[in-house]
Amino acid sequence: MNTYKPIQIAIDTSTSGDNTLVAAEVGKHIVVIAYTLISRDTVDVRWKSGSNNKSGLLPLIPSVGASPAHNPNGVIRCNPSEALILNLSAANYVGGHLTYEMHD
């Protein structure tokens, strides 16, 4: 039985490069079970676990979002003790939210 507690946070960034959304915890995996992204301008985004890519480039265009189906097993799973990072190709606004759990 899953005893992990889902945590929801806002995504609200416009900084080019790596943006830490969830800080690393020693020995823990960050498991993203749902997210929604939307951009104000054209920008490519990439999910990362620390310095490791967890997705290819996801091109976002203005007012058209990205939101995969909720997956209790995780749509993104970070490596142990690594932060969840959203990398932006340019300094364009990206907003939304994500739901994650911290796993042992």
In the chain the domains, ranked by start, together with CATH numbers, are: 7-103 (2.60.120)
* Tokens at 78, concatenated: 């970070």
Q: Using one digit for the tens of pLDDT, what is the confidence trace for 16-62?
A: 999 999 999 999 999 999 999 999 999 999 999 999 999 999 999 99
pLDDT at 84 over 90: yes
Average pLDDT over residues 73-92: 98
- Residue 1 tokens, joined: 């039985």
The model's pTM is: 0.95
Provide the b/e sequence for 24-44 (b: ≥16 CB within 10 Å): beeeebbbbbbbebbbeeebe
Q: Is the pLDDT of residue 2 over 80?
A: no
pLDDT at 3: 81
Q: pLDDT over 70 for what percent of the chain?
A: 98
Q: Contact at 8 Å (CB) between 75 and 35?
A: yes
Q: Where are the beta strands (DSSP E) in 1-104?
A: 7-13, 17-22, 29-39, 43-49, 52-53, 58-60, 76-77, 84-88, 94-103
Supply the mean pLDDT for the chain: 96
Contact present, 15 and 93 (Cβ < 8 Å): no
Nearest-angstrom CA–CA distance, 53 and 92: 20
Residue 11 has pLDDT above 90, yes or no: yes
Q: Residue 1 pLDDT > 70, yes or no?
A: no
